[in-house]
């Protein structure tokens, strides 16, 4: 297993290009299952989750052809009774995104219950309740979800599977992949589906644009109420995924923690409004430039409290990285994690580097500023890994971050991007 060896302290400066958004690319790939016709995606980040999803699609019968800068997908020959097995699903919770499209297309899907980051219970009850509201029968057995339309499963030999039915469904609380799953399922349902209390993340807006390009009829993108008028079939489309706001936010926070000057090219300010507001409150000079967002930080960092929340609130996927920055801020910062119940696994590791953080349920109190010192630390999940890398950038001496395969799930070429900003980081086997 590879590690990062980071020698600190570093000051980052320069320009770094943001990759395509992993969390848009995943549902976009799953959307290929909705149609017989080809879907061409560009801007896909080269990260492990994308490779995993592509493998899963290939297992489901999708032809995936890589061309320079794009991936062409064709799902014209998926089986009548498709199955997403545990071996492919276990490492990535987002695999559940194939459930809605398969069910809508084939009237049947059997999908292993997902694994993914160890950041809490993360049920999929809302996905399943929504599909049931659309007329699916759902069974949970042997670690698998089996969903079918019309009672019999698959096409029942007729060649025409029963369609899902349009319905009104209200999410108990906003869920990103839950919203994406139900929107995709609803595109091929009979009649109109109204989804309420939807998540509003930019990744969902991007997915609805892709689905519309395929011929879906969707109203309300970006709001918490989506209305989808089902169509019989979807057509060919080409789509470029949006830039990754979480990756962009991570490099902006890296700029701040190292008191550097970093331009994140391609970053879109509206997607990052809650973070940019915090950066300004912390005393950073934030500049929206023609090709991205630049942050310059010199002098003290002001501590600021944060509560994570569904978009447009502060993203839970930036909480760990933010917490690393707060170890360097003047005063006490309270960070409340309100989305996931077990997302402070980076805190004990930061403690090993000298940070002073107290945890009380969903609250972390960070006492700053503290000098950090290099140590051997272990990445526990994707964003926790990024937090440790940020801390290592300013720690005195050498930090080795173990288990960076977590990082590789969501950050493209992180070490070379950091090196290009002047960081002393190398990958060691």
Active site amino acids? 117
Pick 26 or 89: Cβ nearer ligand UD1: 26
Q: Which of these, 270, 319, 265, 320, lies nearest to 293 by C-alpha position?
A: 265
Strands (E) located in 297-392: 306-307, 331-336, 356-360, 363-368, 376-378
C-beta of 317: minimal distance to ligand UD1 in Å?
Answer: 5
Q: Which of these, 192, 236, 190, 187, lies nearest to 213 by C-alpha position?
A: 236
Q: How far, CA to CA in Å, does 22 sit from each of 121, 136, 218, 335?
A: 22, 29, 23, 25
Tell me how far apart the alpha carbons of residues 249 and 241 are, in angstroms, rounded to a whole number: 17
Pick 52 or 284: Cβ nearer ligand UD1: 52
C-beta of 173: minimal distance to ligand UD1 in Å?
Answer: 6
Pick 148 or 200: Cβ nearer ligand UD1: 200
Please name the residue that has the structure tokens 């550097």: 260
Q: Please give the radius of gyration of the chain, using alpha carbons only, rounded to the nearest integer.
A: 22
Residues that bind ligand UD1 (CB under 6 A): 23, 26, 93-94, 120-127, 173, 175-178, 199, 203, 316-317, 339-340
Tell me how far apart the alpha carbons of residues 221 and 391 are, in angstroms, rounded to a whole number: 37
Pick 253 or 353: Cβ nearer ligand UD1: 253
C-beta of 226: minimal distance to ligand UD1 in Å?
Answer: 15
Pick 113 or 238: Cβ nearer ligand UD1: 113
Identify the DSSP state of 113. Answer: P
C-beta of 94: minimal distance to ligand UD1 in Å?
Answer: 4
Q: Which of these, 56, 106, 107, 99, lies nearest to 78 by C-alpha position?
A: 106
C-beta of 182: minimal distance to ligand UD1 in Å?
Answer: 10
* Contact assessment for residue 75 and residue 101, using Cβ atoms and an 8 Å cutoff: no
Strand partners, 196: 170, 225
């Amino acid at each position: 297993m590879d590690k990062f060896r980071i020698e600190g302290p570093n000051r980052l400066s320069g320009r770094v290009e943001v990759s395509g958004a992993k969390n848009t690319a995943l549902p976009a790939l799953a959307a290929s299952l909705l149609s017989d016709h080809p879907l061409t995606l560009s801007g896909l980040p080269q990260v492990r989750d994308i490779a995993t999803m592509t493998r899963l699609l290939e297992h489901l019968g999708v032809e995936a052809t890589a061309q320079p800068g794009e991936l062409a997908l064709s799902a014209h020959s998926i089986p009548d009774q498709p199955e997403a097995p545990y071996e492919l699903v276990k490492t990535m919770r987002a695999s559940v995104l194939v459930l809605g499209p398969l069910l809508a297309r084939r009237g049947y899907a059997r999908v292993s219950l997902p694994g993914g980051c160890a950041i809490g219970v993360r049920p999929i009850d809302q996905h399943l309740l929504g599909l049931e509201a659309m007329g699916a029968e759902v069974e949970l057995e042997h670690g698998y979800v089996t969903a079918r339309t019309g009672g019999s499963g698959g096409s029942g030999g007729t060649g025409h599977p029963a369609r899902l039915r349009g319905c009104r469904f209200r999410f108990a609380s906003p869920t990103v992949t839950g919203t994406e799953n139900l929107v995709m399922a609803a595109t091929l349902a009979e009649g109109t589906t109204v989804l309420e209390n939807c998540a509003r993340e930019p990744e969902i807006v991007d997915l609805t644009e892709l689905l519309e390009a395929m011929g879906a009829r969707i109203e309300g993108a970006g709001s918490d109420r989506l209305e989808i008028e089902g169509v019989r079939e979807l057509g060919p489309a080409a789509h470029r995924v949006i830039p990754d706001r979480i990756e962009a936010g991570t490099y902006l926070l890296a700029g701040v923690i190292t008191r550097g000057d970093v331009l994140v090219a391609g970053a879109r300010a509206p997607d990052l409004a809650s973070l940019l507001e915090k950066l300004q409150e912390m005393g950073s000079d934030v500049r929206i430039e023609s090709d991205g967002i630049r942050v310059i930080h010199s002098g003290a960092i002001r501590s600021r409290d944060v509560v994570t929340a569904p978009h447009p609130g502060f993203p839970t996927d930036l909480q760990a990285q933010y917490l690393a920055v707060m170890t360097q801020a003047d005063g006490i910062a309270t960070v409340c994690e309100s989305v996931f119940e077990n997302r402070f696994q980076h805190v004990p590791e930061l403690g090993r580097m000298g940070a002073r953080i107290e945890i009380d349920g969903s609250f972390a109190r960070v006492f700053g500023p503290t000098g950090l010192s290099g140590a051997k630390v272990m990445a526990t999940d994707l964003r926790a890994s990024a937090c440790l890398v940020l801390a290592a950038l300013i720690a005195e001496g050498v930090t080795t971050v173990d288990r960076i395969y977590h990082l590789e799930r969501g950050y493209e070429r992180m070490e070379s991007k950091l090196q290009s900003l002047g960081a002393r980081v190398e990958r060691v086997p």
